[in-house]
Structure 1
Amino acid sequence: MRLICFALALAGLLPLAAAQTRPAYQQPSAAIREVLDTPALPRLLPSPERSQLAIIEQARYPALADLARPQLRLAGLRFDPRSATPIGLVGIERLRLRALRQADAPERSVTLPKPGLWHSFVWAPDGQRFVLERRLDQANELWVGDTASATLQRVPKVNINNVLADGEQAWLNPEEVVVLSIPQRRSAAPHASVAPMVQESLGRNSPERTHADLLRSVQDEALFEFHAQSQMLRVNLRSLRTQALGSPGLYHSLTTVGEGQGVLSERLVRPFSYTLIWSDFPSVVELWSPEGKRLRELARTPLRQGVAIDGVIPGPRQFFASPHKDAALYWVEALDGGNPAQRAAFRDRLMRLDPPYQGEAYEVQRMPYRFARLRFADDGQHALLSEEDRSRAWTRSYWLPLRGTQSRMLFEHAVRERYRHPGSPLLRTLPNGRLVAQTQQGDLLMVGPGANPRGERPFLDRMSVRDGSTARLFQSAEQAYEMPLAWSEDRRLLTLRETATEPPNLVLREGAQAQALTRISDNQPRLRKLRRELVTFKRADGVELSFWLVLPPDYRDGEHRPTLVWAYPMEFNDATLASQLAATGNRYQPVSGINPQLLALDGYVVLMDATMPVVGDLRAVSDGFIEQLMMNARAILDKAEDLGVTDPRRVAVGGHSYGAFMATNLLAHTKLFRCGIARSGAYNRTLTPFGFQSERRSLWDAKETYLRVSPFLYAHQIKEPLLLIHGEYDNNPGTFPMQSERLYQALAGTGGSARYVQLPFEGHGYQARESVGHVQWEMSQWLRSCLREPKN
């Protein structure tokens, strides 16, 4: 409450004099402040045809006053009703353009008129223009930029509605785009009123996950419908003329059909739900001509209520439009009623409907497992189709002829496979703005991180669609992390290259020659003074573990320093997968404002990203959660002691979200740690009764497990001090602020030592500069108080 008052004063919502009588936000040490106040690195955004480069300098943090803007929280959304934009936008502070393939090309600065917050830069498909949005207090304008002259023009009378579809666009061609705008003629917003909230369950199973910001009344429904309504507008970027397509509706998805032959739209319809978020509401899928004529209603998807855990709705779902001249439409249908518990030879099928969109669709492919994704290829004849067996976390991908012949499986692997992962398709942009998988002489180009036991070396492969064999076209050197971005017919490769000390820069490769196209330099030299080393070891059952050993700048060999272990558990169904390293030492390490690694600047040893695998049958992996956490923690501490850097009497454990859940369980069930830090966690699993993380059983199917892994129920055993931090408006499913509030009350009521900090206006992660600085101060002060040298 004390921090809330100060934040309200900053936002101009409370007299500052009232706030000054209460403690204000605190600042961390000068060393950490220096890192927090370093500007963000610029974004480097090549144009789709790779001729131009946008250099975008953004604010590092949203302003606290921006988070405190008047907002509505409806149907799982949080938005500013005056401008129809999400809360917490990060603004563009400076925008520069230049020719891409000349490292010394002159830059053209784009003047961004004041006032307002500029955001959402998007290139036109040919790179000759771009669009931007400017948020004002009462509007969110659309502006068009000319690349050659670096000038901007506002599109008159267009106010983009980003309530449902944040930045949703459909490019008909490089000069015309369809956007979602607030209707020009609409009535006044509904007035607030008070009414009872009524819900009914009439004997039908409806295992819903816990969500925040749900609709609660008829008044909420009316407000949601009013503010989410938008009008499809066809905008000519050359003339700035607009044309309305259809009537206003609750549109949330737009897709270009073919080479601009139409637009595929999805819009919400009633009935709404008080237990589901907006993306689970009923939806109507429609096809429109470029002139605004509705060609066909394709489907009406039902309210996603009563769907089994890990299930899908029956009937058509997940709609796609071909990006090519054939302009075909596709969707997926369940063959098992959408219920994964029902035995079936095939789970899903892919359907196709061709122009003129009359009659019935026909089946293209049946899938033994659940549909995962569809990526069209640039040849206009094929797509990469993927399915997933969620019961064993396994995925398969097929090369799918879109007409007539049977597909061919290209590869399959565990979902969490790293070392033998084939990568993902390299994408390129078509003139209609659609991204497609790039092919070369009939084969598929694949790009991936190239993980191996020594780190990651990104690669570009040409994969044969006949037998899945690969030929390597490029692989990054070991000392650098160089990710392929684009491959041209003349065999020139555009990459994004970084090292441990050099931030990402664009490089153009032609054979053995490499030309640096940008020269962004390291902007956080203080972080390079930290000593970072990847340490690997094994736990008692042979599973490979690791952590990043982060030593303070003034650390001297042989010192035994107070230490923080920071981790996040991951579930695996295979010990081999759990042993694969997920860390690499050849990447530049920008550190977020709440990263506990910064505590090394205050003199602490930090064991960062300590691996905490939980291995077992995914259908019951949580049964061994506590025991495996204990095994992991014991191995981590033993290794730290072997390295001679840690005082085993002064070790803290911490984590964020599921990591907070982990840390609190370790305090409840072991005596390995002197104290803990738990940020934005969930601690009572009876409040998330229909599954959490990888757990797919309900509370009533696995009651003993739910109770066993809930540290709230073992609060009387937590005798080590615990710092709890939570965002006031945490909207992550399951981690409501109540979780921390109730745990604090349980600890206080059973004689525990705890401190609870609630951050005003913040969600699951913390964004404002005031918030991240205060979090660093809280963590540092907490470690200082509880990791002091023990008395003999």
Structure 2
Amino acid sequence: MFKKSYQIPFVLVFAFFTAFHTQAQEALTYQTPPQAIADLVNADPTPLVSFSRSGDFMLVLERTGNPSIEELAQAELRIGGIRINPATNGPSRTGSFKNVILKNTRGGEERQVKGLPENPRLGAFSLSKDEKFVVLTNTTNTGISLWVVDLTSMEAKQLTDEIVNSVYGTGITWTSDNKVLFTGINPDRGAMPKAPLAPSGPNAQETSGNAAPSRTYQDLLTNPYDEALLEYFMDSQVMMVDLNGNLTGIGKSGMIKSMDLSPNGQFLTVEMIQKPFSYLVPASRFPYTVEVWDMEGKVIKTLAEIPLDEVRPTGFDATVTGPRSISWRADKPATLYWVEAQDGGDPRVQMEEREIIYTLDPPFNAEPSKLAGIGYRYRGIFWSDDNFALLNEGWFSSRQQKVTRINPSKPQEKGTVIIERSSDDIYNDPGTPVFTTNAYGRSVLLRKGDDVFMTSEGGSPEGSMPYLSAFNTKTKTENILWRSQAPYYERVAKVLDANATEFVTLKESTDIQPNYWLVNTRRRIAPVQITQFAHPYESIKGINKELVKYKRNDGLDLSAVVYTPEGYNPEKDGRLPVLMWAYPREYKSAAVAAQVRGSKYTFTRLNWGSPIYWVTQGYAIMDQTEMPIVGEGDEEPNDFFVEQLVANAEAAIDFIVEQGIGDRNRIAVGGHSYGAFMTANLLSHSNLFAAGLARSGAYNRTLTPFGFQYEQRTYWEAPDVYNTMSPFMNAHKVKTPILLIHGEADNNSGTFPIQSERYYNALKGHGATTRLVFLPHESHGYAAKESILHTLWEQHEWLERYVKNRQ
């Protein structure tokens, strides 16, 4: 039985209510939160690290900060599910780097790259096979060019003009003779299509009666002009450039989706989007061909002609018919492999052999050979050699994962299942394999006989303690070679030798910035720190952090991470206002749902959406507050969504209050995306909280009628679930002040900006205290510095008014 919700009296702040309703729209400029919060936002971002394949050195990539709103406001095309900057022929929104440093892994010596472009916006780093050069892109306001760094002289130079086409991703590949393959703008594509002065006619769509359920997508094509623009900006040609900048076009041009060089460098697979386009699904589901080319661009084989993927069975385990996941075997010179569904892509069809994996050798004119058949959906293959590979499969509905050891040279032999588990079960997760580089420059399993080296998060009732192991694929047991030790959270980042006795770890603690360390278990010498990244948040270095555990009223174990201000003592300092932040998750097992996730030893890292900023303002923070929704066996979790959600919140509130930390009458709840949806539901179905913060959420589930989050049923199959879970349908119940924030350019499936607009109107129409803020040019995640600071200001003002200073 679930306990009844606490009934907290709601006091309306009359002055604010009157002011709000006399001015429905505000002429608002960008605002800044308190200085302590703004300083944390403006802290220099920590560099990222990319290891060489050998692990002998790392590239330290210094990041640029948040872009300005002026940068975000540049021209943008939103077509075919893609967002394009027409000035650059690349993506309109992407992160970049401003500097590159080469650092020796074992000695720690650093060398600075010289000759980088002015005001660099670097990305798409790729290391040559001999590890003597790095190629990268640089983006300006007019285009994208290729640059190369000689790692001997540490000099950078420009390789091409601004001809890189990265609308559909930046595919960059090195050949064995140090030439670079990339996707360039078709030099013969002509001028950009001009918008018609008037439409040529109405836009119409028609269906012939075949069921075609589809999830909601953003930025779809809407008219013939959109089609012409997509075709223009995706028009590409495979190009090859040598280290002297000599450029050669390869093969025909077209709307290139991807290209992949065979391990021996003799063939290319090229995927090209074809017509007809669709106004219902994004470009990723448009028709495309898969061809095998030689290095002169001649078509050797048309491997597949994939039709428009507009009609697909319902369910998250549904897939397309025909070949998919076409790739080169990493352990062979030029062998292709792919998978094909045998059930028509329909998870409701019962079959023992649901998928078949095929292979095909050069010259690609024979019948494909069957490598294996599986009962779940294909999830990929980890290759070692012709006698050893690991085949992965899974089934979303039951959360089952299976890993099978197979012998590729004997496809008639049934493989051995070595791992079978719930994908949600972190306590019994042996982890993911460690990889090494073979003679073809491809990643293959690092193994020793029957042992495969693995890294695991190391989930436990005390929190995550990552480890490195040798997993024996015959005995199905693991030998833990190294494990993180308290009070640190440390994980293996790169294994350096064949026996996994020397490796690099990323080590951190609550107030110790993550840095890289060299560990050698064979020599038994003390670990050596390689990087010296500074702590970016000195002002919150002394705050208190604790991973706490408590129980729901049905006995389910829950957890959260609690932050309190530096030096805070409940007995001396009294109770604090609380900000609870969460994101619900669905589970098929109560035992798995109860597992502790995260670690109390992780570094307190802030991002633009973090709730931790308010610890500087005298709040206690409950972050990563577990909100499990459980449906055992044939039961669907969402059939119990509301009662379990409220029970989760009650348990968290009871805990923080019983610890003497939180004031029951001054607790706010907040979340982003599905967390915003959670927040609105909690305010609809309880009076537990003083206020709510909901960012970029979906509030009317009839607008996502063919499934959402982990809900696979359609609206027509479970109308009561959709209606009960929709805050819009329950807007009349909300008596708690709620702040709604949404990016005007949200591109996330289902979280259309109209979700917040209509929900706000429903709340307003029923007299709720609410505020709606739309952020210009912002997507599902907010990027511009002005937008981030203003979002924090909005949240701060709401918390101060309705939580900290609540009457």
**TM range, smaller chain:** over 0.9
Q: Distance in 2 between matches of 1:509 and 1:174?
A: 34
Bigger drift between 82-91 and 25-34 goes to 82-91
Amino acid at match of 2:484: S
2:514 is matched with 504
The DSSP-based 3-state class of the residue aligned with 2:616 is helix
Structure 1 residue 584: Cα displacement? 0.4
Q: Distance in 1 between matches of 2:247 and 2:452?
A: 39
2:184 is matched with 181
Cα contact 1:256–1:323 (8 A) shared by 2: no
Identical columns (%)? 34
Pair 1:167-2:170 in alignment: yes
Amino acid at match of 2:641: F
The DSSP-based 3-state class of the residue aligned with 1:690 is coil
Q: Distance in 2 between matches of 1:140 and 1:178?
A: 15
Alignment of 1:84-163 (within 5 A): 84-103=89-108, 105-115=109-119, 117-157=121-161, 159-163=163-167
Q: Distance in 2 between matches of 1:162 and 1:536?
A: 47
Cα contact 2:447–2:453 (8 A) shared by 1: yes
The DSSP-based 3-state class of the residue aligned with 2:175 is strand
Amino acid at match of 1:527: I
Amino acid at match of 2:596: L
Compared CA separation, residues 220 and 616, structure 1 to 2 (3 A): same
Pair 1:302-2:315 in alignment: no
1:540 is matched with 553
- The structure 2 residue matched to 1:670, chosen from 667, 686, 689, is 686
Q: Cα RMSD between the aligned structures?
A: 1.7
Compared CA separation, residues 276 and 719, structure 1 to 2 (3 A): same
The DSSP-based 3-state class of the residue aligned with 1:34 is helix
Q: Distance in 1 between matches of 2:272 and 2:509?
A: 45
Compared CA separation, residues 256 and 480, structure 1 to 2 (3 A): farther
Pair 1:486-2:492 in alignment: no
- The structure 1 residue matched to 2:646, chosen from 630, 647, 650, is 630
Q: Distance in 1 between matches of 2:695 and 2:777?
A: 15
2:361 is matched with 354
Q: Distance in 1 between matches of 2:306 and 2:702?
A: 31
Following TM superposition, the consecutive aligned residue runs of length 4 or more in structure 1 with deviations greater than 4 angstroms are 430-433, 788-791
Structure 1 residue 370: Cα displacement? 1.2
Cα contact 2:262–2:333 (8 A) shared by 1: no
Pair 1:398-2:401 in alignment: no
Pair 1:476-2:484 in alignment: yes
The DSSP-based 3-state class of the residue aligned with 1:279 is helix
The DSSP-based 3-state class of the residue aligned with 1:521 is coil
Q: Distance in 1 between matches of 2:123 and 2:484?
A: 33
Q: CA-to-partner distance for each residue in 1:354-386, whole Å, 9 max, x for gaps?
A: 111112101110101111222222x35432211
Structure 1 residue 639: Cα displacement? 0.5
Alignment of 1:591-606 (within 5 A): 591-606=606-621
Compared CA separation, residues 555 and 477, structure 1 to 2 (3 A): closer
Alignment of 1:549-560 (within 5 A): 549-553=562-566, 555-558=568-571, 559-560=574-575
1:608 is matched with 623
Q: CA-to-partner distance for each residue in 1:129-174, whole Å, 9 max, x for gaps?
A: 101111122210011111121111212346211111x222233326
Compared CA separation, residues 168 and 576, structure 1 to 2 (3 A): same
Q: CA-to-partner distance for each residue in 1:431-451, whole Å, 9 max, x for gaps?
A: 655322222235311111111
Cα contact 2:84–2:92 (8 A) shared by 1: yes
Q: CA-to-partner distance for each residue in 1:561-585, whole Å, 9 max, x for gaps?
A: 1111111100000011001111202
Give the gaps of 5 or more residues in structure 2. Answer: 1-25
Q: Distance in 2 between matches of 1:109 and 1:357?
A: 44
TM-score, normalising length: structure 1: 0.94
Pair 1:209-2:244 in alignment: no
- The structure 1 residue matched to 2:285, chosen from 277, 280, 284, is 280
Q: CA-to-partner distance for each residue in 1:391-424, whole Å, 9 max, x for gaps?
A: 2110101112212133211111101110110100
Pair 1:580-2:595 in alignment: yes
- The structure 2 residue matched to 1:50, chosen from 55, 60, 67, is 55
Structure 1 residue 719: Cα displacement? 1.5
- The structure 1 residue matched to 2:244, chosen from 239, 248, 252, is 239
Amino acid at match of 1:572: Y
Structure 1 residue 201: Cα displacement? 1.9
Q: CA-to-partner distance for each residue in 1:314-356, whole Å, 9 max, x for gaps?
A: 1211111112344211110111111001121221010011111
- The structure 1 residue matched to 2:370, chosen from 363, 366, 377, is 363
Q: Distance in 2 between matches of 1:677 and 1:460?
A: 40
Amino acid at match of 2:561: W
Cα contact 1:48–1:126 (8 A) shared by 2: no
Q: CA-to-partner distance for each residue in 1:449-487, whole Å, 9 max, x for gaps?
A: 111111222211112232322222222223222222214
Q: Distance in 1 between matches of 2:639 and 2:34?
A: 42
Q: Distance in 2 between matches of 1:592 and 1:134?
A: 25
The DSSP-based 3-state class of the residue aligned with 1:156 is coil
The DSSP-based 3-state class of the residue aligned with 1:323 is coil
Compared CA separation, residues 39 and 407, structure 1 to 2 (3 A): same
1:564 is matched with 579
2:444 is matched with 436
Bigger drift between 293-302 and 94-103 goes to 94-103
Structure 1 residue 115: Cα displacement? 4.7
Q: Distance in 2 between matches of 1:179 and 1:345?
A: 42
Amino acid at match of 2:358: M
Bigger drift between 332-341 and 290-299 goes to 290-299
1:293 is matched with 298
- The structure 2 residue matched to 1:458, chosen from 466, 469, 480, is 466
2:674 is matched with 658
Amino acid at match of 1:495: T
Cα contact 2:129–2:175 (8 A) shared by 1: no
The DSSP-based 3-state class of the residue aligned with 1:270 is coil
- The structure 2 residue matched to 1:744, chosen from 735, 760, 769, is 760
Compared CA separation, residues 99 and 407, structure 1 to 2 (3 A): same
Amino acid at match of 1:710: S
Compared CA separation, residues 704 and 35, structure 1 to 2 (3 A): same
Amino acid at match of 1:351: Y
Q: CA-to-partner distance for each residue in 1:483-528, whole Å, 9 max, x for gaps?
A: 2221413632222222222222222222222222222232211222
1:29 is matched with 34
Compared CA separation, residues 403 and 108, structure 1 to 2 (3 A): same
Cα contact 2:746–2:780 (8 A) shared by 1: yes
Structure 1 residue 261: Cα displacement? 2.5
Q: Distance in 1 between matches of 2:425 and 2:454?
A: 16
Structure 1 residue 619: Cα displacement? 6.1
Q: Distance in 1 between matches of 2:97 and 2:730?
A: 47
Q: Distance in 2 between matches of 1:790 and 1:766?
A: 29
Q: Distance in 1 between matches of 2:326 and 2:774?
A: 41
Compared CA separation, residues 78 and 563, structure 1 to 2 (3 A): same
The DSSP-based 3-state class of the residue aligned with 1:456 is coil
